[in-house]
Chain A
Amino acid sequence: MEKKITFIHAADLHLDSPFKGLSNIGESLFQEIRKSTFNALDNLVKTAIKKKVDFVLLVGDLFDNEKQSLKAQISLRNAFEELQRHGIKVYLSYGNHDYIEGNIYPIVYPENVHVFPDEQVRSFTFEKENGPLAAIYGFSYENRAVTSKKVYEYKKINRDIPFHIATLHGSLESNTEHDTYAPFQVGELMDSDFDYWALGHIHKREILKENPFIIYPGNIQGRSRKELGEKGCYFVEMAEGKQTVEFIPLQAIEYNQLTIDVSNCETIHQVELVITEELRNLHSIVPQLLDVTLKGKESNLVGWKTENLLEEIIEIVNDSFQSQKNWLHIFRTTIIETFTIEDSSLMGEHFIGELIANLEESPIRDHISDLFQHKQARIYIDSLSIEEEELIKNEAKQLLLHELLKE
């Protein structure tokens, strides 16, 4: 009989972790958003059952120790129990967010779950029809970080086992965008002669390499405006000499970006109409959280924004899309103005020129220390990144230009 296994590869579930960048949402949306990670997990379980997979690989960051809720782990256990009822095994490791030492809840998972217990690379053997069919390798984070190169510790245990699948929660050495844990290079993974590298840690899904597959499945539910689009897991089928992977979306709610041109709008009401029209055309299959960029020609937008008119119409639009099943919600609005006066022409000896020169020169930190260094506020407000500072500067500039130049 042909030897064949099927499994699901997922990572970075971040169960019950709060969303970033959401502020003004209603109660029902709030509840849905809160449950979205669990719903995504449900989707994962359903998919596994539907596909009748042999096992599920969960490569780290199942939940966040920092904001660990008991619910996250209970639901995880419930999910595992459901899988157990369908005879599906689970191989899981802990990552930098759910490292072992930081876990305060002693949840006992059912017997179908195999947890890599420590930072030592270990293996479990998957057996089917009375014979070992696959060896699954991996390790768990005991503490907040693993900075050593783990890739060399992966060694095949028994060459008679047909499939060797390695799980690794870490990042490419070259990736400096995220915290670099258990760093590796694609070449190193390829050299190590495993049949599949199931990666975790990076939330953006990516197939780094085919044959063998080296895959970041990304997280299963986007939780900030940077985690856009569909999110889910990979469904993998392995037969001797043949491998297929298929991405299956699991997200309960989707983050998306949208740019809307409102340069032809003379009034704020027109803007509302344009936005509503655009949203209506989206036809999404899951609820959407939208990061909308409005493009306008004149300085009207800044004016509307300053007068809070923009905010008001966004609220109206949001209300109108909230009740449908796949609701839509604009959580962020950015405006881009094609300003009529060139910056260079604003320079010179004019006041505006002076203003812009000053803006370029002075860091905004000094201006905002009242709040950002405020004893109480500091606890809750993150310090600004350079990027954010630039944004603020820019907005300030827009505002001032608008105020000083408006008719």
Chain B
Amino acid sequence: MSDEQTLREPDERPEPGTAAEGTGGDETGGQRAEGAASGNGPDSAVQESQEPAADGGAAAERAAEDRVANGRRRLLNGLWPPRLSRAQLIVAVLLFVLGLGLAIQVRTTSDNGALRGARQEDLVRILTELDNRSQRLQDEKRGLESQRSQLETSSNQAAEALKQTQQKEAQLGILAGTVKAEGAGITLTITDRHGGVQADSLLDTLQELRAAGAEAIQIDDVRVVADTYFTQGADGVLIDGHKLSQPYVFKVIGNPQDLEPALNIPGGVVQTLEKEQATADVVRSQKIVVDALRPSKQPDYARSSQ
């Protein structure tokens, strides 16, 4: 409406009074309608005819306002004082039914969950979900039961593992030289009267024995292990820093039928030693006792990675 006002204003400027009246009438629909009704000069009548839509809108607005006021009044009248009319009674009966249904529905919904008011397809869906859930739980139960039985039998497994570990420890102890060992094997005695046998010959002998499957070796009173070394001293051969005394006696546990031929093969250890003016004597035995021990040594840096 204010847009119309600004558009219209230049035309009406020559007659200030009319323009003023027009602007005044625009403020509220009710006021301007009154102005028009009082017949305030021809100009104002012309103005009214120029904007019939605005006038109609104003009238409708007023009617709506009246109706609103009437509606409120009617509501209050209906509420108070209570009147026993046919309409009131009928509406009361229907509202009673509504309240009943409302209460029942609310109670039903809050009473026993979703199942009571649920429709058939919902029930079917719920049933399927429950079936799936029970299936899952059954699977889980089965898995747990098998786990339990595994745990029950694993006490035997643990005992077995312990036994195996002890066996392994004994084997490793033999290899590391921390336990005594006995078994079939040979005794190799090297007698070197001329001092021709050097450390390298003894090392060759040892390697030959190892290659032939020797499991535990003792030279004189020194247990031979992985880090055993020979050195050539000024007056003889040292093994692991100990002076070896003549004759050199190798006590070797292993299969005698492998060990003896390994030493005696042509070009082998025995022949080589004989070239050095030494005598090598191999004697098989069913019981060789390797009783020299090594202290078990905890490694400083290496740790078991298992």
Q: Do A and B come from one complex?
A: no
Q: Which A residues lie at the B interface, using CB under 8 A?
A: none
